[in-house]
Structures are given as C-alpha cells and as structure tokens.
Structure 1
C-alpha cells in the first residue's frame, strides 16, 4: 500500500486555475520531490491531500485513508506549510507543548533535541522571532511527534545556509528511521540533493514524473557552438533539440537522442568553439517549462 495515493485529483476555483487530474503514488520510505514555480499548484495539491480544502473531483489518501473522512490519520503525519502563523504573545515552548498535547505523548525531550539542532530559543515569544526563526518553530512543530509521513511545503525559505544544511541532515535521519518525506519546492538544488523521485507540475498539471537519476542521465546534453558565420535553427533540423537560442554566431540548445546524429550536423560547420556538457537539474527543469522561441 502506498503512503500517499492521489488519483485524478482536481480542484477548481471558478475561472481561476487550481489543479487538474493530478496522479501521484508515493511509497513507504521515499523522499519524493514535488517541484514547480510559484503558482503551479503545489500548495493546492498538498492542502487538498490533507483535507484542508475539498476537491472538486478525484481522490487522495494517506495510509489508505482520506483525511476528509478520517481526520485522525493526520496524527501520523507532520506538516510544514509554506507560510506559518502563530499566536504572537505565546512563548515558543508553550506553543510547542500545546501542539504536542494533541498527540497524547510526552514530547519534551524531542522538542529540546530538535530545538538544539535548529538553534531555536524556546523561551522567546513568537512576536520577537524573525521570519527564519518562525520557520524553525514550524519545523520543530512538524517533527516533534516523530511522524511516519513528513509533508514539507517550501520548507527552507528564511533559513540561512547553515540551518538549511542542518535541516537536510535532520530529514535524512528521519528518513533512515523509516519516515516517508514529501518535499515540495521551487528550489531545484534542494530537490536534487534530497530526493530519489520527482514530479514536475505546471499550470496545475503533472507534466513529468521520473526518477531523479533518469532526469539527470547522459541522454541529455547541453551544447554550445560558436561558428565562423551565423547559424540558423534550420541547420539543425533533427529531432531531439529543444531550447534553441542564437546570438550572432553562437547557438545554445539542449539535445536528447543519438549523439552521433548531432555530431554529424556539427561536423558540417566551420567552428570557432564548441562545448558539450551534462545539464544540471535546473536546466532539465526549464526544458519542460520554457517554450521555444
């Protein structure tokens, strides 16, 4: 049984875009990346999955149960929203103890351990915290009950690089203990660092679902050519080219396919310079998002 199962999930807001026919299946122990630019539908998908908003159609389950029909299933998960809002006059420790009370277990040691890792002052009032420190409170709150499923929506915004690294190490430890992690972000380096599989969402629809290793495999090449004369796009009238850009005598593009076919075309040109590199995840990602000019 999948930890998360989303089938044809749709949420409409009248004329405004929501999500349309989203399908995802996430297995026990995965660190799954959910990536897309702001406004692509990441948060809507998560909130609908959690039953915080009702779907227009389709279904979503956690541990085989709908959060709408079985809200008690939420006790098994930790959720960090993209924006956190708290009672300003509460002390951090009081807020966390209040959160822990819903799980009917003593989380005191766990709270102290997490606060130490994240360098969080438990005695301060929420109102006195910076945005980054409020995000730390959200991280501790989401993990204090040692959930089996951790759902993170843009979790690192506001954290400095040192805290981001500590946070990733903390997630790695939770995953080793058996936690499944659903990691939503628009920061591709984070997803590349953490996740084994990734889904790309664009305008409310899943456009790619792939293993991270497959996305980065050698079938993709980033090619840059400088010739002695200007090069038109018609020069490379073969399949597998995308993101073609030209400026003067220089062209850049992505290529996926038989490398021999593209090298034969390049060999017909009088060159000044050429580079063929492996693209990073961001460049692969933009391949799916940016329409060719």
Structure 2
C-alpha cells in the first residue's frame, strides 16, 4: 500500500510580483512552486526527495501536510486527501514532522517544548530518543546550538511513534558523528516498518539510508529511481594532482566529464569503468587523488538536463539565489 500518493500535484502562486516566493517564474511573472508531480511512497519505505535549494521540496512537503493548498492535482497522506481537512487532521496523529525551520519559542526550555508536543500527540518513545540524541532539555532554546536544536526536533518528530515521518533537510546543522547516528537510527526505523519521506540536497546522505529517490528540478520531477541507479548515473567527482602540469583537454578520456584545472589539480566527473580510470591515471605521475560523490547539481546538469523528453528550464546559480527562497 502507499503511504503517500501524488497525482498531478501542482502549486502556482499567480503573479509573484517582487516577492521572493519559492518556485520558478514564468514569462508572465507567475510563480510555479511544483508542477504536475505524480509518484507514490510505499509503506515502510525510506524515500529521499532530492533537489537543490529552490527546487520545490519544501513546497511539496507543505502541500502534503495541508499547510498549502494545491492549485490542481491530488495527494493523499496515510489515505487522507490533503484537501479533506478533517481526514488530514486525523491522519496527522500518525505523522511526525521535522521542518527545515524548527521555529521553537526561544524563551522556553527543551523540556517545555517536548511537554507541549507530548500533550498534543503523545510521547511513548520520548526517553528512548533522548538517550540517543540527548539535547540539553534544561536550557532555553536561545542557548541551543544549531545541532542541539535539530536533535530536539528529531526527538519531537519521532517520540509519538508515528507511522510516517516527513522531514525537510533533517541533518542540517548536525556534525558528522551526529549525522551518522541519525542515519543509523533511520535504518533501524525502516526495519521497524516506519515510512520516512525526507528532502535533501546531499547525495551522500541519501545514499546511506534511502530505498528510492525522486529528483526535483524547478518544481518538476525529473527522475524517480532506486539509489543504485542514481549512483550509477551520477558517477564520481575526481580531483587528481599530477607531478607535471597537463592540459585538461589532453587529459580527458572516455568517461571523464567537464575536466578543468583547479589550482595545481585537475577536477572532473567520472562516469566510466573504474579500472579504465586507474589505467588512464597510470600513464601520469600522480601525486594525489581524491574520489568522492559529485555535487547534486552536477548530477542534474550531466544526466537530467537533457534526454528524450523536454528539458526543464535552467537558470544560473546567481539567478536562483536572487529569485528563489529555499524551497
């Protein structure tokens, strides 16, 4: 069965004027937050919703939770139509939500925050989660670090043992050790049968915990696939430092994409066979080499900006930063 189902879900804001509304502006000035989204999330699945800032991730989440009304299309969450207020209120008793902007009252303590949430929706797992994430409950929120505030948010999202948890950039502000602790927790939740839907722009994070991913670009779903397929398409980001300077064009070979000089190194995306890359590097005097995940934007540019269907509109990063709030 499906925990979440979208069919043609669209959110348009009309004439955005000079407002920094989240979404893509059309030639008429209309702002398109999300555009004809159709996909399902199965019960017990960990689903990653990927996209750079401004892609429409937060708009989608707010629409699923009934915080925004769709312009057209339909969506159900735990069987409740997002346009049926009474049904959605009932469904929310079984939903945990971790927003990107937590919005806690800075004057109250973490203890007060959790007490309020427990009074509304219960807190059967509160102590278990506090042992794992340990925010300083006795201190007021204004004294919290970003990481501590995020951990408090994680506790409140899961402490009533929800069937579905929806999260927006859940590890933002967490240090690497706390991120890994959270990823391990999500893997355990999947074993318990909890459905998890979370947005992210960090490819490596999604790789560790997700079963499937949907990729959003300027409000449109441009890919829906399992993690292994995504990684195969995305390739790796390689940075190699050679003993002697080499022209990027001369260095390029099958599988290398966008070879460029960065300081005294060459940087490129590699989407070929790794043994072939090692054989190619053996022809040079290599001083150092780093291989890691490519930036998510590189995956979009090289694999989802072109194809059999019409490509989504593209803008420069500076245009996106000027026109789009974090969506």
Normalising by structure 1, we get a TM-score of 0.79
**What CA distance in whole angstroms lies between the structure 2 residues aligned with 1:165 and 1:223?**
24
> 5 Å matches for 1:74-223?
74-103=92-121, 105=122, 107=123, 110-217=125-232
Which string of whole-angstrom CA distances, capped at 9 and with x for unpartnered residues, describes residues 251-287 of structure 1? 956557xx8xxx9xxxxxxx95599xxx865367623
Contact 2:135 2:149 in 1 (8 A): no
Cα distance change on mapping 1:246 and 1:111 into 2, 3 Å: closer
Equivalent residue for 1:7?
Answer: 7
**What CA distance in whole angstroms lies between the structure 1 residues aligned with 2:131 and 2:239?**
48
Structure 2, unmatched stretches of 5+, are: 15-29, 277-281, 307-327
Equivalent residue for 2:299?
Answer: 287
**What CA distance in whole angstroms lies between the structure 2 residues aligned with 1:76 and 1:157?**
24
Cα distance change on mapping 1:142 and 1:244 into 2, 3 Å: same
Which SS does the other structure have where 2:100 is aligned?
coil
**What CA distance in whole angstroms lies between the structure 1 residues aligned with 2:296 and 2:178?**
27
Which string of whole-angstrom CA distances, capped at 9 and with x for unpartnered residues, describes residues 125-181 of structure 1? 222222221111111110110111111110111111222122122222222111011
**What CA distance in whole angstroms lies between the structure 2 residues aligned with 1:90 and 1:229?**
59
Higher Cα radius of gyration: 1
Which SS does the other structure have where 1:216 is aligned?
helix
Structure 1 residue 213, shift from structure 2 partner: 1.4
Structure 1 residue 224, shift from structure 2 partner: 10
Contact 1:202 1:289 in 2 (8 A): no
Question: What value does the CA root-mean-square deviation take over the aligned residues?
Answer: 3.6
Contact 1:67 1:74 in 2 (8 A): no
Q: How many residues align?
A: 273
Which SS does the other structure have where 1:3 is aligned?
strand
Cα distance change on mapping 1:221 and 1:188 into 2, 3 Å: closer
Structure 1 residue 188, shift from structure 2 partner: 1.2
1:49 aligns with 2:49: no
Structure 1, unmatched stretches of 5+, are: 264-270
Contact 2:238 2:292 in 1 (8 A): no
